[in-house]
Amino acid sequence: MLRDIVVLFLLACGLFFFFVGSVGLVRMPDVFCRIHATTKCDTLGAGLILLALIVWQGFGFTSINIAIVLMFIWLTNPTACHSIARSQYTLQTLKNKESAKEA
């Protein structure tokens, strides 16, 4: 009974963060704000949902696999975000230099 309540709470929180990240993707004005909104919310949302799965499964082989997937998401999602933001920054910098040469 208590486990079900905890699982439902974690799932609801995870879905809330996914929803906020989706709204941030649509509403934010530029690439950097969009990346910030989606990366933070997706990482936290996925973490809470996978944590709910771990609580629901109990301790065992499956929960260890879910924990490994969770750690992989925590490592790769911010890294991918950084790569995208860095390439966008470089692209904008190059465009600004080219437009300054033309003026």
Closest CA to 49 of 6, 80, 81, 2: 6
The answer for residues whose C-beta is within 8 angstroms of residue 15's C-beta and 6 or more apart is: 45, 49
Identify the weakest region by mean pLDDT among 22-26, 35-39, 98-102. 98-102
CA distances in angstroms from 63 to 28, 58, 68, listed in the order given: 36, 7, 9
Contact by Cβ (8 Å): 31, 85: yes
Residue type, 36: H
Instruction: Please state, for a pLDDT cut of 70, what percent of the chain lies above it.
Output: 98
Q: Rounded mean pLDDT of 42-49?
A: 93
Give the span between the Cα atoms of 20 and 88, in whole angstroms.
23
Question: Is the pLDDT at 71 greater than 90, yes or no?
Answer: yes
Q: What is the pLDDT of residue 103?
A: 61
Q: Rounded mean pLDDT of 8-34?
A: 93
Question: Is the pLDDT at 99 greater than 80, yes or no?
Answer: no
Question: Is the pLDDT at 17 greater than 90, yes or no?
Answer: yes
